[in-house]
C-alpha cells in the first residue's frame, strides 16, 4: 500500500462518521447543483422556442438527474 492509499484508508477508518459523511457528500452536492444551474440556463433559452421544446427539456432534465445520481452512487461506492 503506497502513502496515498494509506492516508485515504486512515481517513476512512479513523475519522468520525459525523465529519466523514459531509466531507464526502459536499463535492457531489456541488457537482449536482452546477449541473442543475446549467440545465436551468438551457431551459431558459430553449423555452424561447415554444412549449414543446420546454416540455422536452423538462423530461430530459429529470432523466438526466436520475442517471447522474446512479453514476455518483456507483462511482463513490467503487472508488
State the greatest distance between any 2 C-alpha atoms of the chain, in Å, as a whole number.
57
Domain boundaries, the chain: 26-79
| Residue 34: predicted pLDDT | 92
DSSP of 1-50, one letter per residue? Answer: --HHHHHHHHHHHHS-HHHHHHHHHHHHHHHHHHHHHHHHHHHHHHHTT-
Are the C-beta atoms of 54 and 47 separated by less than 8 Å?
A: yes
pTM of the model: 0.62
| Residue 30: predicted pLDDT | 92
| Residue 45: predicted pLDDT | 92
pLDDT tens for residues 18-61? 998 888 888 888 988 998 898 889 888 988 999 998 898 889 88
Amino acid at each position: 500500500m503506497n502513502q496515498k492509499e494509506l492516508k485515504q484508508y486512515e481517513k476512512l477508518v479513523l475519522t468520525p462518521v459525523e465529519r466523514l459523511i459531509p466531507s464526502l457528500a459536499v463535492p457531489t452536492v456541488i457537482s449536482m447543483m452546477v449541473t442543475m444551474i446549467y440545465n436551468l440556463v438551457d431551459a431558459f433559452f430553449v423555452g424561447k422556442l415554444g412549449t414543446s421544446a420546454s416540455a422536452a427539456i423538462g423530461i430530459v432534465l429529470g432523466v438526466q438527474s436520475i442517471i447522474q445520481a446512479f453514476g455518483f452512487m456507483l462511482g463513490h461506492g467503487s472508488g
